[in-house]
Amino acid sequence: MIAHQAGPEGCIQAHSCLQHRLESSGLPKCRHCNLKDLQGLIGYLQFCTQVVPHGCTFIHGLINFSMTFKFSFSLRYVPAYTHTDVHWWLSYAHTWNGIQILDPLKPTLHVYTDERGSKGLGGIFCDKWFSTRCSHCFRNRDIQFKEIYAVLQAILSWGISRKGHHVMFHIDNSAIVAGISSGSSCNAQVQMF
């Protein structure tokens, strides 16, 4: 498998290799696997994420599962979340033509959001702003939930008119920044977004 970048395209030659690798790993159908086989598949998929958009989001479950092994060659039951990730990769491989157009550079828009405890939340974008009180049903939620709720409100307020742009959110909560950047969060209240 060869990955290269040529202009605005990234290409993996012999893309059927991805589908074959997934099916030959046995993970889509088997109930048990060992660490060595799992790590081999994770390494291969990490390589594929260079040209597969959002692919790294669907490796987290596999990595989390790999950390539950005590011994390299012991067999472990494959949990449902791991099967979900593998099935995403399989469905992607079935429809993929081997070439993924990478996003061209887009103008960057800066959106600033913040929340203020039970007082409310708001956001600023250029000369536009919004401010609203935190909904009564959300007032007892933790700060991370309220911070991501402010981002959601900004998206709902300006999202439709921002197509074709790279939107950078400025948030003063490092846990939310990490969650948005990685596509996952450990906070159960934030995971619903």
pLDDT at residue number 116 = 83
Query: Residue 104, SS3?
Result: coil
The domain boundary residue, chosen from 101, 119, 144: 101
Could you report the per-residue pLDDT of 88-106, keeping only the tens digit for each? 888 877 776 666 555 567 7
Q: Which domain holds residue 42?
A: 3-101
pLDDT in tens, 111-127: 898 888 777 888 988 88
Residue in this structure with the two tokens 């959601």, named with its chain if needed: 152
pLDDT digit string, tens, across residues 160-175: 566 777 788 888 888 8
Query: Of 55, 85, 101, which marks where a domain is finished?
Result: 101
Q: Are 15 and 93 in contact (CB under 8 A)?
A: yes
Rounded Cα distance between 4 and 31, Å, is: 35
Same domain, 11 and 97: yes
Q: Are residues 21 and 96 in the same domain?
A: yes
Q: Which two tokens stand for residue 12?
A: 């993996």
Separation of alpha carbons 144 and 190, rounded Å: 7
Question: Are 96 and 142 in a shared domain?
Answer: no
Q: Are residues 28 and 88 in the same domain?
A: yes
How far is the C-alpha of 41 from the C-alpha of 55, rounded, in Å? Answer: 13
Rounded distance between C-alpha atoms, residue 15 and residue 2, angstroms: 9
The mean per-residue pLDDT over the stretch 60-75 comes to 87
Out of 76, 101, 126, pick the residue that ends a domain.
Answer: 101
